[in-house]
Amino acid sequence: MTGPTPVDLVIHGGRIVHPDAIVDASLAVRDGRIAAIGTPDLMPTATETLDASGLHVLPGAIDVHVHFRDPGYTHKEDWGTGTAAAACGGVTTVFDMPNTVPAVACAEALAAKHAIAAAQARVDYGLYAFLGEETIDRVPDLVAGGIIGFKLYMGETFGKLPTPSTGAMLEAFEVVTPTGKRISLHAETASIMARREARLRAAGRGDPLAHLAARPEVVAVEAVSRAAVLAEWTGARIHILHISSAAELRPLAEAKARGVDITGETCPHYLFLSAEDYQRCGGIIRINPPVREASNQGPLWAALANGTIDLIATDHAPHTPPEKTRPDIFAVDCGFPGVETQMPLMLTELAPRHASICDYVRWSAANPARIWGLAPQKGAVRVGADADLALVDLEREMTLDDAALQSRSKISPWHGRRVKGLPIHTLVRGRFVMRNRALVPGTEGWGRSLHTIQAMPPAQPRNTDATMAAITGAAARS
């Protein structure tokens, strides 16, 4: 008699972390999915077993905000190096931004990026499409081409993609809403920043803090408020990227209370860095929105705790050392790598901030999966879900070292920072992409685009009798 076919992998001895509980249990993986969770004696026979004693088993992080620069700026990053960084950071899914060259603003550019990502990605991914003044009529083609959502830039940042007028933004929301896709917003108001930057330059300011002076909180508060109004009117689903200030929390919380489908993220640099770091870091700290005064950190943590902010993302924005060290701050490229260091940084600071590893799993995996319609397949250690796992050692310490990053961008404000709590193994759909802290060779091309499993709830358009299509009769004619 032959027994049942063995499963591919059983992980024994770990502590499985859910958003609401930690459970000591073994876990079996078959064909890339979690096949069983339970006591060791209940586990099926396995081709391979892993002793995870002393480790916590987390759902791999879902980083909904990375810039992998490929195509167009592969001297900064490409899909191979970017997803190597993700794998070594315990990140099993990334959503890539469209400010590449060409921008992901048409079906051809989207198809080209899909081909590159499919060949090189080591972790799963979603691709964002650019939503701008001139691309509204391409929304159906972009959705058909396979995207996770749209990105709309209310303010200029790296890549200098044009920012739409409020009129175009309203129409863009009207058109995207029925598709069910979420629109992620770079919520900084372009005209305020442009005017202030011009005045600062004219006054001879080129020092690092001039960057912060050009983009005070009101830049973000005005943009978040305006976006929330348009989302409320149209029924659009929106996501506020990189929340940097306490002042943005009020329009965000108020919109949530009114029933707007609005979500928000913050990033480690807004939680751990402050205006006091500009002198130490110089241009390296330049990022949009800017790192702000330390007084913002407490409210951002509180907003994570009470759910006003839904999740942690990184805005992984790699550049080279020469691009980050120009003497004039306004000539420095904005951003720095983060996908690889988010998990250690966050794990280090949970206890001091009275947060738990369960909270972390909610912010890093469960909420992103729910918000983009990837649950129940992603974002949880659950029977039937993809075996996307980060096995972390909460006692393991390390000094972050830019030179050791997988990212092609070896320059960040995190260099020299001590962390405690490291991902040791990362699995994507049951396959190790990092093992014992080493990148697993041959995993390029293992990553898959997630648009095929994305299941967003039914769209809820509002004020449909007043849309641009309705008033011009375009809806009736088409």
Partner touching 296 among ligand DOR, Zn ion, none, CB below 5 to 8 Å by kind: none
Number of residues that bind ligand DOR (CB under 6 A): 12
Q: How far is the CB of 200 from Zn ion (least distance, A)?
A: 23
Site for ligand DOR in 176-215 (CB under 6 A): 186
The stretch near Zn ion (CB under 5 A) out of 71-79, 114-122, 312-320, 431-439 is: 312-320
| 231 in contact with ligand DOR (CB under 6 A) | no
| 317 in contact with ligand DOR (CB under 6 A) | yes
Q: Which of 26, 81, 157, 189 binds ligand DOR (CB under 6 A)?
A: 157
| 290 in contact with ligand DOR (CB under 6 A) | no
Cβ distance to Zn ion smaller for residue 288 or 449: 288
Q: How far is the CB of 338 from ligand DOR (least distance, A)?
A: 10
| 99 in contact with ligand DOR (CB under 6 A) | yes
Cβ distance to ligand DOR smaller for residue 92 or 288: 288
How far is the C-alpha of 77 from the C-alpha of 370, rounded, in Å? 29
Q: Which of 158, 278, 432, 446 binds ligand DOR (CB under 6 A)?
A: 158
Cβ distance to ligand DOR smaller for residue 157 or 377: 157
Partner touching 99 among ligand DOR, Zn ion, none, CB below 5 to 8 Å by kind: ligand DOR
How far is the C-alpha of 68 from the C-alpha of 386, rounded, in Å? 24
Q: Tokens for 406, please give them.
A: 């997988």
Encoded amino acid at 134, one letter = E
Cβ distance to ligand DOR smaller for residue 228 or 334: 334
Encoded amino acid at 22, one letter = I
The stretch near ligand DOR (CB under 6 A) out of 21-29, 153-161, 270-278, 301-309 is: 153-161
CB 470 within 8 A of CB 190: no
| 243 in contact with ligand DOR (CB under 6 A) | no
Partner touching 158 among ligand DOR, Zn ion, none, CB below 5 to 8 Å by kind: ligand DOR
| 287 in contact with ligand DOR (CB under 6 A) | yes
Q: Which of 335, 373, 379, 413 binds ligand DOR (CB under 6 A)?
A: 335
How far is the C-alpha of 61 from the C-alpha of 63, rounded, in Å? 6
How far is the C-alpha of 297 from the C-alpha of 268, rounded, in Å? 10
The total number of residues shown for the chain amounts to 478
Partner touching 287 among Zn ion, ligand DOR, none, CB below 5 to 8 Å by kind: ligand DOR
The stretch near ligand DOR (CB under 6 A) out of 81-89, 156-164, 193-201, 244-252 is: 156-164
Residue 262 phi, psi dihedral angles, 5° rounding: -125, 135
How far is the C-alpha of 424 from the C-alpha of 7, rounded, in Å? 22
Pattern 9-48, ligand DOR, x by CB under 6 A: ----------------------------------------
Cβ distance to ligand DOR smaller for residue 33 or 215: 215
Q: How far is the CB of 11 from ligand DOR (least distance, A)?
A: 36
How far is the C-alpha of 424 from the C-alpha of 401, rounded, in Å? 17
In terms of Cβ atoms closer than 10 Å to its own Cβ (0-12, 13-18, 19+), residue 52 is: buried
Q: Which of 30, 56, 67, 451 binds ligand DOR (CB under 6 A)?
A: 67
The stretch near ligand DOR (CB under 6 A) out of 9-17, 121-129, 155-163, 338-346 is: 155-163
The stretch near Zn ion (CB under 5 A) out of 145-153, 215-223, 313-321, 423-431 is: 313-321
CB 261 within 8 A of CB 278: no
Q: Which of 8, 197, 315, 323 binds Zn ion (CB under 5 A)?
A: 315
Partner touching 288 among ligand DOR, Zn ion, none, CB below 5 to 8 Å by kind: ligand DOR
Q: Strand pairing partners for 392?
A: 56, 423
Residues near ligand DOR, by CB under 6 A: 67, 99, 157-159, 186, 287-288, 315, 317, 334-335
Residues near Zn ion, by CB under 5 A: 315
